[in-house]
Homo-oligomer: A and B are copies of this chain.
Amino acid sequence: MAELLVVGSVALDTVETPFGNAQEVLGGSATFFSYSASFFTPVRLVATVGQDFPEPHVKLLRDRGVDVGGLHVASGRTFRWTGAYGYDLNEAKTLDTQLNVFADFRPALDDTQSRTPYLFLANIDPELQLDVLRQMRTRPRLVALDTMNFWIKGKREPLLRVLREVDVVTINDGEARQLAEEPNLVKAARKIAALGPRTVVVKRGEYGALLLDDGGFFVVPAYPLEAIFDPTGAGDTFAGGFMGYLAFRDQTDAATVRRAMVYGSVMASFTVEDFSLNRLTRLDAREIDQRYAEFEVLMRLERG
């Protein structure tokens, strides 16, 4: 079992879906990631919040064993995001973004953090991602990075620079096409791999996830849910399960990476069943094992 460091955002989300709405609930990439990964391995979180950030949210993370020593409280208000989903639930429409203290986020790692063997650079400015990577005193055994259309469009050069130095990239299908400038997803994944990361994980929402690595392509379906309540955080929860399992096993061979893909999908399937981290806070290890076993059945092909 090895430690896992995540650098990203902690936010207060206001979300509207066809099934209800939630006001100023706990969100952010580093939040979903660290909470999800904490079911597998010890996690250290580096992020910033404002003075208005509710203490119970910090307690929630701490109670799951997340090391919140790197959660900096800055003077000002916490990052806020407001989004809405239509019936297809595939893409959030951002209604409002207030960066607040997140605008001045300059992650500074302490000695312990800078020697963490597994690192996840959540979806933040690629210049900050590169800066975090530079602060690592020992090269992590595995570095993964997530990004989005905003950085692909606005910070392409720094993004390409940090991509050259990471092992894994997790990215949405539309964003993969945008980054590679290639409409065919298979070609796009290969082009992204040629940019540096030896492992490309394409998140496809209700269609699951696609992996490209030395072992070739691997596809994990999404869990067949009868009700998807709120997809916010699904991608970061996926990444948390994925990286959490790899750090727990402290192995990154092809077979372990495939199992990590399934654990990522398992965790994401729980997150979307309720708003915010609500479903995850009611989750136990037995349910994770059970759903993993259901994924095995969903994918099982016996030889004839």
A-to-B contact residues, CB < 8 Å: 87, 183-187, 204, 207-208, 210, 215-219, 221, 224-228, 249, 255-256, 258-259, 262, 295-302, 304
Output the nearest chain B residue to A18 by Cβ-Cβ distance: B183
Q: A221 to B224, Cβ gap below 8 A?
A: no
**In contact, B224 and A186 (Cβ under 8 angstroms):** yes
B225 pairs with A186, CB closer than 8 A:
yes
> Given the complex, which residues of B lie within 8 Å of A210, measured CB to CB?
221, 224
A18 shortest CB reach to chain B, Å:
9
Q: Is the beta-carbon distance between B301 and A296 smaller than 8 angstroms?
A: yes
18 A–B contacts from the bound complex (CB under 8 Å): A184-B225, A184-B226, A184-B227, A185-B224, A186-B224, A204-B207, A207-B207, A215-B297, A217-B298, A218-B299, A219-B224, A219-B298, A219-B299, A221-B221, A258-B302, A259-B304, A262-B301, A299-B299
A228 to chain B, nearest CB (A): 8
Q: Is the CB of B298 within 8 A of A218?
A: yes
Q: Which of B184, B221, B297 contacts A216 (CB 8 A)?
A: B297
CB distance from A213 to the nearest CB of B (A): 12
A304 adjacent to B225 (CB under 8 Å): no
Of B207, B221, B301, which one neighbours A258 at CB under 8 angstroms? B301
| Residue in chain B with minimal CB distance to A211 | B298
CB distance A259 to B301 under 8 Å? Answer: yes
Instruction: Please measure, in the bound complex, the distance between the C-alpha atom of A226 and the C-alpha atom of B187, giving whole angstroms.
Output: 6
